[in-house]
Amino acid sequence: MLILRGWVDWADGSTFLSAMQEHKDLTFPYLQVKDAAGNWKTVVEDMGIPSGKPKTMAVDLSGKFLSNSRAVRIVTNLCVYWDEIFLVEDDAPPAVRLTAAPMLAADLHFRGFSKPTGGRANQPQRIEPERFEYQTVSDTSMWNPTSGNYTRYGSVENLLQAPDDRMVLMGSGDEVRLRFSARELPPLPAGWKRDFLLLVDGWAKDADANTAFSQTVLPLPFHGMSRYPYPAAEHYPQDQPHQDYLREYNTRPALRLIRPLRQRTEE
């Protein structure tokens, strides 16, 4: 088992467009090992990435080595920062018990913008990812919201109980505060510790000029789409529950302000 910890400086729409124009694909990491002749061979075509902020991931190498060599090679042209990599021979999973904690409430409201540290704006060398100081907040945004209707503020737990394409549409500066019940969590055996996993299902769309429909909330994504933007033959679910959702929840409009460009005068 190969254990890797790192983070990704994620590509935006303009990066993808540039790669396409140069007839170069953005290559997600794949893993190679050496065969008996010493040649590199791909044995894991898609090993995944520690998407976004620093994360730890594991790649199963059981049965992947093709010779006595234990050299491995990771190939990609994405901007991936690996901070730690090591090989574990004993891959037996530790004893674990998973208990679901039911959601009690979820409230959507405007909070503002946490102070950013690191990242492109504060560190041009880009040697560490952007982080945010939650306790330092501003209500002034550095960018315009995407135009369209967002989910109205207030209780939204009914929208977050299951992945059913009835999503909470959040804009710049919005926050969802979730509360869960701990009453059903079992007591810990001696020597155990408790970790928490938050399962999130959804999509994000940036405002990059080369991102599809980057200037509007619509069209809404849905689990059954083949791609985004989806073809004319596909559409967001139109049954009654989803139509009721659109009418009852997504009633908060946001308008994108257009700033006029300065006219350039040539002598």
* Residue pLDDT, tens place only, 133-167: 899 998 887 777 889 999 999 999 999 999 999 99
pTM of the model: 0.73
* Amino acid at residue number 251: T
CB 185 within 8 Å of CB 192: no
In angstroms, the CA 210 to CA 11 distance is 12
Question: What is the domain partition of the chain in residue ranges?
Answer: 2-87, 101-255
* Per-residue pLDDT tens over the stretch 191-237: 999 999 888 999 988 887 778 888 899 999 999 999 999 999 999 99
In angstroms, the CA 79 to CA 29 distance is 10
- Tracing tokens 């083949």 back to the chain, one arrives at 226
In angstroms, the CA 42 to CA 59 distance is 14
